[in-house]
Amino acid sequence: MTVEVRPITESEWPAFAAVDYEAFNSSHPQAATDRWRELAEIDRSLAAFDGDLMVGCAAAITFTMTVPGGPIPVAGVTAVGVLASHRRRGVLTALMARQLRDLHDNGEAVAALYAAEAAIYGRFGYGRAADTLFLRIPKRGSEFVKNAPTDPALRLRVARPADELPQLRKVFESVRTLRPGLYARSDARWRIEVLSDEEHDRAGRGPLRCMIAEDDEGPRGYALFRVKSGYTDHDVPDGEVRLKELFASDPAAYAMLWRSVLDRDLCSRVFAWSRPVDDPIVHLLAEPRNLNAGWLDDLWVRIVDVDRALASRSYAAPADLVIEVEDDVCPWNAGRWRLTTAKGSCERTDDPADLTLPVTVLGAAYLGGRPLTALGGAGVVREHREGALRELSTAMSWDPKPWAGLVF
């Protein structure tokens, strides 16, 4: 089979969406296709063709994403799929090769994605860069520690989410550039991915609800959630709060919003399916075992251009070392690079290597959430100068931990 990969045209958009829906076993109303079109960038939407038949898709979105030190341009990779009739014949491999070449040519040094399955993207050089916590906290047993922050100036307001975009945006913008992984949201992304409340968004979990924590100066935090109502066989209320987002610009507003969802009447628990691994709720609960926490992969990161990517972020400690990078998929990255954090530079060198690592490891460590020493312990980094692994691991670590918080 010969596969041709090229960007689609506007008229090919419905076929592109149909390939993606088919690959994901999903059925979507026309309205969903129309909404998705508002987020898509046609010239960055690649399709794979077997003759005239479109058999695969892979798109990129232009994002501004926070990395250690501040926001940079990042390609958000999404809508990857191949028709079942054409799987395991290299279609995805061809799409990934073309997309990475395009990103390199366009000057985007970093790509990020959410993976449908964790086993797919390592072979294309993506490393698991961020994790996410899911929590199922019972109301009974959710008391806070004694010194939990409060502020008498704060009050809660029940709000209609669709009316509150300026307030929500103000809170989100106050935190966006602090945590690696958070990315700027266009108006369309707020409307479609955050605030949308169509019947198929609800999926039996009721309308989107909003609590705002504010004082006389304005909003200081918000929680967006749905409530899945329910009763036990003995008619005891047993609803579940499904927490979609909770952001706050200070600890008192944060604690107040968590209390508001944990204490909600007719509910017996809060399920939060995506929280950062260093979420302060972990330290607010007097009995942290009641977090019932589990963790999953959040963002995967691909270093498209080693030199520009490593020079684009800040470092937690000085490092001056030579890294030998292995990269079969993007051969322009392969070879030795000197990273000098004091100069903010990463340049090609012939000097001997202090460390040898696959490009996946750089992607995994890029946002500061994955200690290189742990990856060294797994045997995927080879150290040639004693201390080099710890030096780079310390320099690349970052606080707070990375998390994108909104699937794209």
User: Is 3 annotated as belonging to a binding site?
Assistant: no
92 binds ligand ACO per the rule CB under 6 A? yes
User: Is 80 annotated as belonging to a binding site?
Assistant: yes
356 binds ligand ACO per the rule CB under 6 A? no
Question: Which is closer to ligand ACO, CB of 31 or CB of 407?
Answer: 407
90 binds ligand ACO per the rule CB under 6 A? yes
Rg from Cα positions in the chain: 23
Whether the Cβ atoms of residue 317 and residue 348 lie closer than 8 Å to each other: no
Q: From CA 25, how far away is CA 143, in angstroms rounded?
A: 42
User: Is 179 annotated as belonging to a binding site?
Assistant: no
Interface region with ligand ACO, contact rule CB under 6 A, candidates 35-43, 107-115, 186-194, 305-313: 107-115
Does 408 qualify as catalytic in the annotation? yes
Interface region with ligand ACO, contact rule CB under 6 A, candidates 108-116, 261-269, 340-348, 395-403: 108-116
Largest CA distance in the chain: 74
101 binds ligand ACO per the rule CB under 6 A? no
> What single DSSP character describes residue 402?
P
154 binds ligand ACO per the rule CB under 6 A? no
User: Is 88 annotated as belonging to a binding site?
Assistant: yes
Interface region with ligand ACO, contact rule CB under 6 A, candidates 29-37, 79-87, 138-146, 382-390: 79-87
Interface region with ligand ACO, contact rule CB under 6 A, candidates 117-125, 184-192, 244-252, 361-369: 117-125
116 binds ligand ACO per the rule CB under 6 A? yes
Whether the Cβ atoms of residue 330 and residue 100 lie closer than 8 Å to each other: yes
Would the CA dihedral through 91, 95, 101, 105 be positive or negative?
positive
Question: Could you tell me the CA-to-CA distances from 206 to 157, 223, 226, 396, 404 in Å, in that order?
Answer: 19, 15, 6, 42, 25
The H or E element spanning position 265 is: none
Q: From CA 35, how far away is CA 200, in angstroms rounded?
A: 13
Within 8 A by CB and 6+ apart from 34, the residues are none
117 binds ligand ACO per the rule CB under 6 A? yes
Does 183 qualify as catalytic in the annotation? no
Q: Which residue of 91, 135, 194, 381 would you call a contact of ligand ACO, by CB under 6 A?
A: 91
Where does 24-64 have alpha helices with state H?
30-39
Question: Which is closer to ligand ACO, CB of 148 or CB of 330?
Answer: 330
87 binds ligand ACO per the rule CB under 6 A? yes
Structure tokens that stand for 154 in this block: 């704060």
Whether the Cβ atoms of residue 348 and residue 339 lie closer than 8 Å to each other: no
Catalytic choice (16, 63, 121, 183): 121
Structure tokens that stand for 213 in this block: 């924590």
For ligand ACO, the binding residues (CB under 6 A) are 23-24, 77-82, 87-93, 113-117, 119-120, 123
Instruction: Give catalytic residue positions.
Output: 121, 408
